[in-house]
Amino acid sequence: MRLPVRLPVRLLIGLLLFGSGCAIVPQNRRMHLADPIMSFEEDPTETHRKQKFYTSREAAAGGDGAVAGGGCACQ
Amino acid sequence: MKSFLVAALASSILFDGLAGADEGLATDLFADAPPIRIESVRARYTHYDQTGLGYQSQAGPTMGPGLENATVEQAQLEVVAKQGKLTHRLWVPLDVITAASPDAIDGDFRIGVDTVSQASRVNEAGSIELQTTYQADSRTAAFVRAGFHIEEMFRSWVVGAGFSRSFADDNAVFAASVNQVYDWFDTFLIDGERVGHGDRSTTNANIGLTQLLSPTTIAHVNYGVTLQLGELSNTYNSVPLVTGVRGAELLPHLRQRHALVARLAQWLPWNGAIHLFYRFYADDWGVLAHTVETELYQRLAPTVYVRLNYRVHVQRAVDFYTTLAPDDGSFRTGDSDLSAFVAQTVGAKLSIDFPSRGRLRDAHFDVAAERYFRSNGLRASIASCAVGFRF
């Protein structure tokens, strides 16, 4: 059994470096960012229905802040 | 009622521990005891209808794949309340499952078993979870949560805690959380006989960063690691053996899972937005997976939008996946969910908000439909709708 974690670690470091180099967006220029359609999690109940469906049917889960596995009899 | 008390008690214990470390914080939280005000209520109903074949199922020929047909009716209720600097979120999902249940092997096992099809039994599952978030200041928030899940042969407890802090005039938000799940359940032989109890522990940690990239672009990355210990099979899955009979699924008692997620949201000049999602996943059972999803939003009116979504998931099988296993006691599974496959999802959603006056700030309604299909034959149709009110 092996665990290929080098790639995601490098990706994470790269993304963090990428993000840290961004220009500041002032408060008065965030009108579009405040639109609910820009939100990553617009409705927790919809997020749950998706997570439950995919977690119980695919071996690959997690990474989105939620527990990957456990909590139900569906593995 | 009992489960609510368990959740509330666990949350209270956790929160007391947090506050006990800082007397000033405790005074701040509880001295004035501001009243609780309901901020929003939302209810969602979802119907799943699944068909497919898997070698773990005994609803078919002895040496061939069996049916994985299932239907699930899922109702959720979410109530969010404010209490000064505290925000409470009470969440209650209920599932009624007409398959995939050990109910089907809970009768007279001598006349045959059917672990995942027939839909002749109904299994009810319910959870209750309470999360309390403390807004320490405009940049820092911390939360604790506790929950309880019950199925007929299964109990699960979850506790978690986390915090978030924004930097650079809210241009970046760093968040971290930890979760602990403990599952306790009946174990079975594959002929349906109950043979005792099993348990598993799931420990999970996450770190994430959300970053504004421009006035129209947001990015988010998150890394999660999960360690599972204990009985990781549901114990009633079976595997065809070279001896011409079926044997029990045998899984390792340890699993280490890593997942990295990257998201990007881009506002579009025609009152739309596009979301891009990528997840890399790897675990020490040999699964390697890539998931890509895109969601396209379009506003039709200031309070109405439609969303189209497409998702593709590619995964490698676990090292010990087989459809014909040697009878030597080595790890083995015929579970189609642990095999190699490509899964795709297409869907659409319509969302409407109704602005109101008075105490009701707005009302919300949405309806969505999705179709999930896999290269190994599993199909699922999903329909969902929600109503919500903000006060």
Output the furthest CA–CA distance in chain B (Å, rounded). Answer: 72
Beta bridge partners of residue B200, listed in sequence order: B183, B230
Task: Assign B3 to helix, strand or coil.
Answer: helix
Q: Give pLDDT, residue B294.
A: 98
For chain A, what's the residue count? 75
Residue type, B385: C
Distance from CA of B155 to the nearest CA of A (A): 8
Distance between CA atoms of residues B128 and B7, nearest Å = 7
Q: What is the CATH number of domain B2-390?
A: 2.40.160.40
CB B168 to CB A24 under 8 A?
yes
Query: Measured between alpha carbons, how far is B99 from B96 in angstroms, rounded to an integer?
Result: 9
Q: Which of A47 and A13 is assigned the larger pLDDT?
A: A47
Distance CA B319, CA B340 (A): 10
Write down the pLDDT at residue A4: 59
**pLDDT at residue A17 greater than cutoff 90:** no
Contact between chains at A4 and B168 (C-beta distance less than 8 A): no
- DSSP type of residue A4: -
Is A50 within 8 Å of B380 (Cβ atoms)?
no
- DSSP classification of residue B152: T
Minimum-distance CB partner of B215 among A32, A46, A63: A32
Choose from A9, A16, A41, A64 for mutation: most chain B CBs within 10 A: A64
CA distance B106 to B127: 23
Which of A30, A46, A73 is the closest to B153 by Cβ?
A: A73
Helix (H, G, I), strand (E, B) or coil at B20: helix
Cα angle vertex B197, ends B194, B199, to 5°? 140
* Nearest CB neighbour to B214, from listed A7, A25, A49: A25
Q: By the 8 A CB rule, do B236 and B102 touch?
A: yes
Q: What ranges in chain B are assigned the alpha helix state H? A: 2-20, 23-30
Instruction: With beta carbons less than 8 A apart as the criterion, state whether B142 and B162 touch.
Output: yes
Question: Running along chain B, 391 residues long, what does each successive block of 10 average in pLDDT?
Answer: 43 44 54 84 95 84 84 93 95 79 46 42 82 95 95 88 92 95 88 85 94 93 94 88 92 94 95 96 94 97 96 96 92 93 97 82 93 94 95 86
Residue type present at position B306: V
- Residue B342's pLDDT is 97
Q: Is A14 in CB contact (< 8 Å) with chain B?
A: no
How far is it, in rounded angstroms, from Cα B279 to Cα B264?
A: 12
* pLDDT given for residue B166 in this prediction: 93
Give the up-direction half-sphere exposure of residue A49: CA atoms within 13 A in the CB hemisphere: 27
| CA distances in angstroms from B174 to B60, B115, B302, B330, listed in the order given | 50, 44, 31, 43
- At residue A71 the predicted structure's pLDDT band, cuts being 50, 70 and 90, is low
Could you give the CA distance from residue A14 to residue A45 in angstroms, rounded to a whole number?
A: 32
Stated pTM of the model:
0.85
For residue B133, what are its two tokens? 């978030």
How far does B179 lie from chain A, in Å, by closest CA?
7
Helix B2-20 with B23-30: angle, nearest 10 deg? 130
**Strand ranges inside B189-320, DSSP E:** 194-214, 217-230, 238-240, 246-248, 254-268, 272-283, 288-301, 304-315
CA-CA distance, B362 to A62, in Å (whole number)?
33
